[in-house]
């Protein structure tokens, strides 16, 4: 069928190294599972590892339930990849220790990054079924993988019921977002037509034409309903009832003991453990096995895994569960809760069963523990849900504080922290405001307000936290550190250093290591702002080298340490530091966190600037072309640096994907800035000027990025032969310069000065010599570009011999780098200047022969004005 063909196409694409995602929707019983089962068989035949995870109706309470279900089937290379990632191992029964009580807010990012690395181990088909029941963390993981998978040999398939997606269902928004992605293929299963339905029923053993016709009329194109109707017809049962009645009629044929077992299985959920179901049934071993044999023989339950059973279809489980009497349902939930408690079952399941069994005290206790576990698993949305459930029960339960293991204020702060970790700082601030104002709660309020970009209110809250804190306490150290952070870069910046110094002093005296590291990073930023780059590097390095135990802070410190080393031109040292940060991010599954991404870009930039373009291209290969969000567009923009410099065909495709994101300042700065250079290499200075004008129009005049974009704009004006606006461009670049600016900023300012002279028709040798010297501290490509212009200026001033040396050096660097556009520009200059060169890759053999002949007719002593065109570029 056409729908299966579309899924196979996604699988084939994955086999070829282009990852794909398929979302399969359809009504209950329409054949989604049957289709992905056939796809799984084809995938196994093609050498794919197949992992299948099943969501369950209580999955909203159990974080990553389908992922844990799928990972249990990992074998071979995938098992080794799983064992190498302890964060994923935590999801499995008997998995690795969950770690400390207070987990890092990056735990979810660790898990997501680890999952991405795990899937790259070998070709994988990952199926997540019944996403309409998925928890929010699973939905977030689905979005992450759909955006981040690029060249991995991975086919990700998710199924969901369209008839269950009411207007406010949380999966609706996710599906709408995902279906816009280029990686995603949406497949909607429609009801079978009469011919397809008749063929299907015949394959199931239907031989009577009249019977098949009646079933087709009743089934309305639904294969599962048709299967049940056919079974009823064969058994001589009525086909006049609805589907629910039809399903229950099958169950009513069971013995009393078997019906009792089946009802217990329905309370447990879609799947149930053998021993747990036997104990819940109250039957002896032999009686239970006889009942199970009866149930399985009638196709109601089927063996699942080594020690359990699953309903043949979710609709059957729903029908049996819905048919239970209220008292019967409550009693059976209570029974399962007691049995799971004795077995140390999952806290989320316990909370579910205790709440359904109306045991509020145990439900509160289990909800708090479920929240703690979800925190440590990296599922903040589920942690927040469980903590909020516990808060909702608090006033209805005697001695709630003892049951929760904490007072209500502490639980509210825990709930707010979970909200912040799931990206909802507004909810976090609202919840913190519910508790009495203490130093701790006010400090947290300030932190969340600052992260919500409400800086004025954050400052007020932080000042109140400092005022409320007792002298010489860890709470005071933390409040001071947060206050210094909220005042950074604002009009009260002068107060930042004294506050950070005081925070550091109190933190060291009280052993508040998190406040100590935070204050140190603020002090390093102050030193950098004041122009003391050596002190900034030392302070960033002290945190980066010692480590804080907080991965977020460690990666932040390592990034800034590597950045300050890079900006003073210490390429080799910066490379070592950046490599260490990238390794830490990869090992901890945080390659896609904010600072993990920044470190990868910095690692790329160091290789790019140092002329190590093989390594730079390998890093850039991980920066996807197909982007759907601003963070992805930022990462993709980085790759343009080397792609434009090498003149690769990928530039146009990447720019096409990035164009919709040019409203973002950072994306525009990088991608439009590089689009301008790309246009200049293609002899289109008008387009380049359009790009740079747009970027500068959206940029803060104080931003140091004005320098580079201004220099490129001046290049475009010079090539256009126009002077209008040149003086303002140079003035703007000068105003953006600041004391203590790194070598790259100083070098680009020198470039802007030299381009300004070129705009006004002056080939200023000393200006271009200054550019070469500024970039020649390790930036191979930019130094080569500057030598190109210096050679031009030297030729115009009569310094032919020196021009030849600079040209040959630039040719050698362009050739070794593979910088094709620069190489072509140098070749043109060589032709105009009648230079000869044995450098491969810049001039063809025939061109070298011709230039050699021309050179014989144009003695070296002749002035440049007589041998070359004066046309400005």
CB 747 within 8 A of CB 774: yes
CB 164 within 8 A of CB 30: no
pLDDT at 850: 37
Going by C-beta distance under 8 Å and a sequence separation of 6 or more, which residues neighbour residue 613? 607, 642, 646, 817, 818
* Contacts of the segment 729-736: beta carbons below 8 A, 24+ positions apart: 729/696, 729/756, 730/756, 732/696, 732/701, 732/706, 733/706, 733/707, 735/701, 735/702, 735/706, 736/701, 736/702, 736/703, 736/704, 736/705, 736/706, 736/707, 736/710
pLDDT at 354: 94
Per-residue CA distances from 625 to 12, 147, 410 (Å): 20, 11, 45
Separation CA 134–CA 152 (nearest Å): 24
Q: What is the pLDDT of residues 199-211, one digit of tens each?
A: 878 887 776 777 8
Over the chain (873 residues), what is each successive 10-residue block's mean pLDDT?
89 92 90 91 94 78 87 88 88 64 65 89 93 91 87 94 85 89 88 80 77 77 78 64 73 92 92 92 93 91 84 83 92 94 88 94 95 88 93 94 95 92 87 94 94 91 96 95 90 91 94 89 87 87 74 85 85 89 81 80 89 87 78 87 94 94 93 97 97 95 93 97 96 89 89 97 95 92 96 94 95 95 95 69 44 37 27 28
Domain ranges of the chain: 2-190
pLDDT at 837: 47
pLDDT at 288: 95
Separation CA 428–CA 441 (nearest Å): 11
pLDDT at 100: 52
pLDDT at 864: 28
pLDDT at 846: 42
Q: Which residue has the tokens 């040149």?
A: 726
CB 269 within 8 A of CB 314: no
Q: What is the pLDDT of residues 25-54, one digit of tens each?
A: 988 888 888 899 999 999 999 999 999 999
Per-residue CA distances from 458 to 40, 431, 591, 781 (Å): 53, 15, 30, 44
The number of beta carbons lying within 10 Å of the beta carbon of residue 325 is 9
The number of beta carbons lying within 10 Å of the beta carbon of residue 203 is 8
The structure tokens listed for 520 are 């140190």
Question: If you write DSSP's letter for every residue of 36-93 in order, what string do you get?
Answer: HHHHHHHHHHTT-EEEEEE--GGGGTSTTHHHHHHHTT--HHHHHHHHT-HHHHTTST
Q: Which residue has the tokens 């058994």?
A: 235
How is the beta sheet containing 124-129 ordered, strand by strand? 49-54, 124-129, 154-161, 20-26, 184-188
CB 567 within 8 A of CB 743: yes
pLDDT at 870: 23
Which of 705-739 are b and which e, b meaning 16 or more Cβ less than 10 Å from the residue's Cβ?
Answer: bbbbbbbbbbbbbbbeeeeeebeebbebbeebeee
Separation CA 562–CA 599 (nearest Å): 8
Q: Domain 2-190's class?
A: alpha beta
Query: Please, what is the Cα angle at 7 between 3 and 13, to 5 degrees?
Result: 145
Q: Which residue has the tokens 């049957």?
A: 34
**How many alpha carbons fall within 13 Å on the CB side of residue 192?**
25
DSSP 186: E
Separation CA 823–CA 784 (nearest Å): 10
Q: Which residue has the tokens 């475009």?
A: 716
């Amino acid at each position: 069928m056409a729908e299966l063909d579309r899924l196979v196409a996604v699988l084939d694409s994955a086999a070829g190294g282009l990852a794909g995602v398929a979302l399969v929707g359809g009504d209950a019983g329409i054949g989604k599972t049957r289709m992905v089962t056939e796809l799984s068989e084809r995938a196994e035949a093609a050498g794919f590892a197949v992992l299948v995870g099943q969501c369950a109706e209580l999955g909203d309470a159990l974080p990553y339930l389908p992922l844990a279900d799928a990972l249990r089937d990992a074998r071979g290379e995938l098992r080794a990849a799983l064992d190498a990632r302890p964060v994923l191992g935590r999801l499995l029964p008997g998995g690795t220790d969950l770690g400390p009580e207070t987990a890092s807010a990056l735990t979810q990012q660790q898990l997501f990054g680890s999952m991405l690395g795990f899937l790259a181990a070998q070709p994988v088909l990952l199926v997540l079924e019944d996403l309409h029941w998925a928890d929010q963390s699973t939905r977030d993981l689905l979005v992450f993988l759909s955006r981040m998978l690029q060249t991995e040999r991975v086919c990700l398939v998710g199924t969901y019921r369209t008839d269950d997606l009411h207007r406010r269902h949380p999966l609706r928004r996710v599906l709408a977002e995902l279906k816009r992605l280029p990686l995603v293929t949406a497949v909607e299963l429609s009801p079978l037509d009469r011919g397809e339905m008749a063929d299907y029923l015949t394959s199931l053993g239907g031989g009577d034409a009249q019977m098949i016709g009646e079933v087709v009329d009743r089934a309305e194109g639904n294969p599962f309903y048709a299967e049940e109707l056919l079974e009823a017809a064969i058994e001589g049962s009525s086909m006049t009832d609805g589907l629910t009645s039809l399903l229950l009629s099958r169950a009513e044929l069971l013995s009393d003991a078997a019906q009792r077992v089946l009802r217990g299985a329905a309370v447990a959920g879609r799947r149930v453990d053998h021993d747990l179901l036997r104990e819940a049934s109250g039957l002896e071993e032999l009686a239970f096995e006889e009942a199970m044999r009866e149930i399985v023989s009638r196709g109601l339950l089927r063996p699942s895994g080594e020690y359990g059973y699953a309903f043949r279809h979710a609709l059957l489980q729903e029908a049996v569960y819905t048919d239970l009497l209220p008292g019967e349902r409550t009693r059976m939930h209570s029974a399962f809760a007691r049995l799971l408690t004795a077995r140390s079952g999952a806290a989320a399941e316990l909370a579910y069963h205790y709440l359904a069994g109306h045991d509020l005290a145990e439900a509160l206790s289990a909800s708090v523990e479920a929240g703690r576990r979800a925190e440590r698993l990296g599922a903040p949305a589920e942690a927040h849900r469980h903590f909020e459930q516990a808060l909702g029960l608090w006033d209805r339960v005697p001695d709630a504080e003892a049951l929760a293991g904490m007072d209500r204020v502490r639980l509210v702060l825990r709930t707010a922290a979970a909200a912040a970790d799931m990206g909802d700082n507004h909810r976090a601030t609202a919840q913190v405001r519910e508790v009495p104002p203490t130093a701790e709660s006010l400090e947290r309020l300030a932190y969340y307000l600052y992260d919500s970009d409400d800086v004025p209110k954050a400052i007020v809250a932080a000042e109140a936290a400092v005022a409320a804190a007792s002298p010489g306490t860890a709470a005071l150290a933390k409040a001071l550190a947060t206050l210094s952070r909220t005042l950074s870069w604002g009009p009260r910046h002068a107060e930042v250093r004294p506050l950070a110094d005081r925070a550091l002093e109190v933190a060291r005296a009280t052993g508040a290591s998190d406040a100590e590291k935070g204050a140190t990073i603020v002090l390093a930023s102050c030193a950098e702002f004041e122009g003391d780059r050596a002190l900034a590097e030392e302070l960033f390095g002290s945190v980066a080298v010692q480590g804080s135990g907080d991965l977020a802070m460690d990666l932040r410190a390592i990034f800034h340490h590597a950045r300050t080393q890079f900006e003073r031109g210490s390429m080799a040292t910066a490379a070592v530091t950046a490599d260490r940060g990238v390794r830490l991010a990869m090992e901890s599954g945080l390659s896609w966190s904010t600072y993990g991404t920044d470190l990868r870009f910095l690692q790329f930039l160091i290789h790019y600037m140092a002329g190590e373009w093989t390594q730079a291209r390998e890093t850039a290969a991980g920066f996807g072309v197909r982007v759907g969000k601003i963070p992805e567009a930022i990462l993709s923009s980085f790759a343009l640096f080397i792609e434009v410099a090498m003149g690769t065909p990928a530039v146009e495709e990447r720019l096409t994907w990035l164009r919709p994101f040019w409203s973002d300042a950072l994306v525009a700065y990088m991608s439009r800035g590089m689009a301008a250079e790309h246009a200049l290499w293609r002899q289109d200075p008008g387009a380049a000027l359009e790009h740079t004008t747009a970027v500068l129009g959206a940029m803060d005049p104080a931003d140091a990025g004005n320098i580079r974009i201004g220099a490129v704009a001046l290049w475009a004006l010079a090539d256009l032969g126009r002077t209008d606006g040149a003086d303002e461009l140079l003035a703007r670049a000068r105003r953006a310069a600041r004391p203590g600016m790194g070598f790259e900023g100083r070098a680009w300012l020198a470039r802007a000065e030299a381009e300004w002279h070129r705009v006004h028709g002056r080939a200023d040798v000393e200006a271009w010599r200054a550019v070469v010297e500024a970039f020649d501290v390790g930036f191979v490509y930019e130094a080569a570009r500057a030598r190109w212009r210096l050679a031009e200026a030297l030729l115009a001033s009569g310094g032919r011999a020196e021009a030849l040396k600079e040209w040959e050096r630039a040719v050698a660097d362009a050739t070794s780098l593979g910088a094709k556009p620069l190489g072509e520009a140098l070749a043109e200059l060589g032709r105009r200047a009648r230079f000869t060169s044995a450098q491969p890759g810049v001039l063809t053999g025939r061109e070298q022969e011709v230039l050699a002949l021309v050179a014989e007719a144009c003695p070296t002593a002749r002035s440049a004005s007589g041998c070359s065109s004066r046309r400005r570029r």
